[in-house]
Structure formats: structure tokens, C-alpha cells
Amino acid sequence: MATSLEVRGVSLRFGGVRALTDVGFAIRAGELFSIIGPNGAGKTSIVNCISGRYKPTEGQLFYQGRDITGLTPNARASLGIGRTFQNLALFHHMSVLDNVMVGRHHLLKNNFLTGSLYWLTGARKEELEHRRKVEEIIDFLDLQSVRKAQAGTLSYGLRKRVELARAMALEPRLILLDEPMAGMNFEEKEDMARYIVDLNEEFGMTVVMIEHDMGVVMDISHRVMVLDFGRKIAEGDPAAVLADPHVRRAYLGEEDEVLVDPDDAPPAQESAA
């Protein structure tokens, strides 16, 4: 299978603080790849390096074989790299429909001059086509009932879904999801997990996801990478990675602890009266 993204020896420093140290990995096209690790491990930093928000102090990044290390975020978006943010970045005063339409701006061909001749050029036809695409995304994410609502009036879970819709509107081939389920209740997480799997399987997008919920990571990821203090400590299929003693130590602080599903834990013994 072809490689979608390759990260080679990426290090990132802010003054004397090392956020990342010699991180390297490759993601195959069509893969659902999760990045996990304790708070402050460098997960968002590596995603920011991939999206172009940060420029690595050392190392290189390749997308579909092309060196993108020096490209701007806009240039990477034009190549087909989309993302969502850990903290919502919606236009709260705008409708859901308009927020998603913003995600199409990289795909617009008409400029200010041709757009001013709306009926004489292809601007009207182009807008109708973009609206059709946006409506398909809104249907896919079950946002029909709130399509005209102001984004700022929606619940947190719905706003996260709108941000995913806007990232989808770019029609990315690689999508970066920074904690897409943070702050959600169980039902909202189930819905979001289903949407992410469908993105990967039905839309054919390569997905890179930061996620803290181990149940979700185990259920939907093809492979997992673990960061700790800015260094990669494990990579592989989910079950093998979560059984790794280095990973257990990073999460639990003790070598001999085991990650146990609460449903599998033995019942507590009652003390004698």
C-alpha cells in the first residue's frame, strides 16, 4: 500500500523547551492512524507540524512523496490535507451552512472580478455545485435540522460535528483530527466514532487522530503510535501497543500495572463484618 504521509526525524523546540525529539513514522494511504499519549506528550505539536502551523526545528515531512516541510498551511490544504482543532475554531455568528461553505474556499475557481459578473461567468454554476457538496456533507453528519442555526447556539457535541463538516468540505485526502471526541458524552462519542470510520471507509480518507478514549482507539484504529515527553515510545496495532510495558508505565507510572477494562475487572471482595 502506498505511503500517504512520512515524518522523518522531526524535532521541535520552543526556546529551551523540547516539544518533540526525533519523531519518525509513516502512514499508509487509507489508514486510520491514532496518536496517543499522556497530557503534554507532544501529540498536538506533531499534528501542528503536519498541518504547517509549526515548522519543525529539525527533520522533514513528506506527503505523497513530496517534501512539504517548508509549505504554508494554505499550501498544504490545497494539496489535500485538512484538520480539526482541539479547541473549536468556528465562526459562531454564522450559520452551520455558511461555516461549512468556508471550508470550500480553497476549491473556488472564480475570483473577485469574475465573481462580480455572477450571471455571465461560471460563478453562479460554481456556487450551486459547492452548495450541493456542502448539503451532502450536512446530510452525512445528520446536521439537517440545524443547517440554518447559528453555530454559537449549538451544543458542544454538535459544534464538534460542524467543525468536522468544515474540514470535510475541503475534500481532503488526509484529515487530521485533534481530539474529535473531547468533552462528549457516551452517545455523542459513539456517533462521532461511526462518522470517522465512515470517513475512512466510504470516503476513502486517510485519518490521523489524536484521542484519549482508549476504548475508541482500540475499536476503530488500524495502527497506533504512542508519544511520551515528545518521543515515540511505541507503534503498531492497538492491542500490541497497549500491552507494551513502556506504554503502561507512561500512562500508569508503574511497570507492572496492566491496562484493564473495567468490565473485565474481578468483583470487589466484601470485608467481613
Question: Could you read off the pLDDT of 98-123 as tens digits, one per residue?
Answer: 889 887 766 555 444 444 444 445 56
What pLDDT sits at residue 114? 47
Asked whether 176 and 82 are in contact (CB, 8 A), the reply is yes
Instruction: For the chain, count helices (H), then strands (E).
Output: 10, 10
> What is the domain extent for residue 241?
1-80+172-273
Assess whether 52 and 148 both reside in one domain: no
Assess whether 119 and 237 both reside in one domain: no
What pLDDT sits at residue 105? 65
Among 3, 48, 5, 70, which residue's Cα sits nearest to residue 230?
A: 48
Assess whether 105 and 177 both reside in one domain: no
Residues in the chain, how many? 273
Per the listing, cell 499508509 goes with: 28
Per the listing, cell 461511526 goes with: 194
Is 254 contained in some domain?
Answer: yes
Asked whether 27 and 200 are in contact (CB, 8 A), the reply is no
What pLDDT sits at residue 265? 44
Distance CA 225, CA 237 (A): 9
Number of domains making up the chain: 2
Is 85 contained in some domain?
Answer: no
DSSP secondary structure of 141-197: TT-GGGTTSBGGGS-HHHHHHHHHHHHHHT--SEEEEESTTTT--HHHHHHHHHHHH
Asked whether 114 and 121 are in contact (CB, 8 A), the reply is yes
The last residue of one of the domains, among 107, 133, 166, is 166
Dihedral sign from CA coordinates of 206, 212, 213, 219: positive
Asked whether 232 and 24 are in contact (CB, 8 A), the reply is yes
Q: Which residues of the chain are under the pLDDT cut of 50?
A: 110-120, 256-266, 268-273
- The C-alpha cell that represents 264 in the structure block: 473485565
